[in-house]
Amino acid sequence: MKTVVLVYSGGLDTSVCIPMMREDYGFDRVVTATIDVGQPIEDIRQAEEKAEILKTEHYTIDAKEEFVKDFIFPAIKANGDYQGYPLSTAIARPLIGLKAVEIARQVGAKAFCHGCTGKGNDQFRIEYMMRVLMPDAEIIAPMRERNYTRSEEIEYAQKRGIPLDVSFEKIWSIDENMWGRSIEGGRLEETDYPPPEEIYKWTKNPVEAPDKPRDIELGFEHGVPVSIDGQVLSPLDLVMEMHKISCEHGVGRLDIVEDRIIGLKVRENYECPAAVAIITAHKALEALVCTRDEMHFKSLVDHEWGDLAYKGLWYDPFKEALEAFIDKIQERVTGTVKLRFFKGSVRAIGRASKYALYSEDLASFDSKTFDQSKMEGMVQVHGMQTRMYRMVKGN
Ligand code: ARG
């Protein structure tokens, strides 16, 4: 029996892959796998229903907790960002690839199918995981191979009795997990077309957000958030609670132009409510406990981490090395940060840590502990090379 594991979203692209696998690629057993990383529950149910209609062996894998602990938390420690995009789709793809491999092992499959197109980033991320973990597996990407237009695809689907839902008529191309939601397509492809309100599903319009600011205190331990207002929460509950608060205050809307892996520039709109709030707090705490040199170097390390995560190179040795540095720093990223949410913004309004490299007594305008007279010599030599330069230039 020839078995293929199809990474299945329940959408049109991956649904047409099912008859294709049977008719054109000679698989007599199609196993569909939907990985729950916090996308809408209706999408997951729809995938299950369609899998039943199309008679596949279907698995829904709840990977939400693993997503938070093994993917979102490392992203928080690295202030995970790529060109202003708080990495969300990008960090879910490796997990989806990983789960697909686990299922393949379980069902004895040596082939994978996915619905990624040849223009995007996801083909790199998903296939990378499959190839790293199962080097001999065959990987089939019919969407990339066939270059179908939307209407050809619909015609194909109709002929095969694939249930079409209204979503294929929708203007926007959306990807969603609990760390972020991306909206592409339609008129957003015009780079100067302002995003219409209808693209946002999570966040309140900041104009309609509460007129009263909301302050919370986020507790961190070793670089990861553990509590809100002193109440300890599980990783998943904490992220979901931060998501709720941020959404209520219209936090996390982003509109950027992004360079895809292949070099295509694309217009991207995001809602990343929890990511924006938690990373804002994490950075504020790092600023309190890290030395200046650590801060500077970590921003370079974070940048490299963001590039690697964007490319989906989740098991790269460079990433491991970067994380060794990041984790060393995180040993001291323990403490609390007060955040204020107000009409689309979130900012730190307080921070405290037992590892703070801060002394009120030294810094205060009202203290004599710091003997200022000691500074004279240091100030005199400050900028010595500028003076040398001007002397050599002759002015
Ligand atoms: N630009 C983001 C990324 O590459 C989001 C892409 C959304 N993906 C999708 N298949 N619709 O991570």
What was the pLDDT predicted at 165? 72
What was the pLDDT predicted at 164? 82
Inter-residue contact 335 to 289 (CB < 8 Å):
yes
Helices (H) and strands (E) in the chain, counts: 15, 16
**Rounded CA gap, 113 and 23, in Å?**
14
What was the pLDDT predicted at 227? 98
Q: Please choose from 116, 121, 266 the residue to mutate so as to test ligand 1's pocket, defined by most ligand atoms within 8 A of CB.
A: 121
Nearest residue CA, atom 4 of ligand 1? 121
Q: What does pTM read for this prediction? A: 0.96
pLDDT in tens, the chain (395 residues): 999 999 999 999 999 999 999 999 999 999 999 999 999 999 999 999 999 999 999 999 999 999 999 999 999 999 999 999 999 999 999 999 999 999 999 999 999 999 999 999 999 999 999 999 999 999 999 999 998 887 888 899 999 999 887 554 578 999 999 999 999 999 999 999 999 999 999 999 999 999 999 999 999 999 999 999 999 999 999 999 999 999 999 999 999 999 999 999 999 999 999 999 999 999 999 999 999 999 999 999 999 999 999 999 999 999 999 999 999 999 999 999 999 999 999 999 999 999 999 999 999 988 889 899 999 999 999 999 999 999 999 97
322: enclosing H helix or E strand: helix 317-330
In order of start, what are the domains of the chain with their CATH numbers?
Answer: 3-175 (3.40.50.620), 185-352 (3.90.1260.10), 363-393 (no CATH)
- Shortest-distance atom of ligand 1 to CA 88: 12
Strands 214-221 and 111-113: unpaired
What was the pLDDT predicted at 343? 98
Exposed (0-12), middle (13-18) or buried (19+): which is 19, by Cβ within 10 Å?
middle
Tokens of residue 339, six digits = 């955040």
What was the pLDDT predicted at 49? 96
Residue 343: which residues within 8 A CB-CB, separation 6 or more? 206, 207, 209, 210, 211, 249, 250
Residue 95's φ and ψ, nearest 5 degrees, are -65, -40
Binding site membership of 16 for ligand 1 (Cβ less than 6 Å): no
Residues classed as catalytic: 13, 93, 122, 173
What was the pLDDT predicted at 168? 47
Give Cα 64 to chain centroid, integer Å.
13
Binding site membership of 121 for ligand 1 (Cβ less than 6 Å): yes
Binding site membership of 272 for ligand 1 (Cβ less than 6 Å): no
Q: What is the C-alpha R_g of the chain?
A: 25
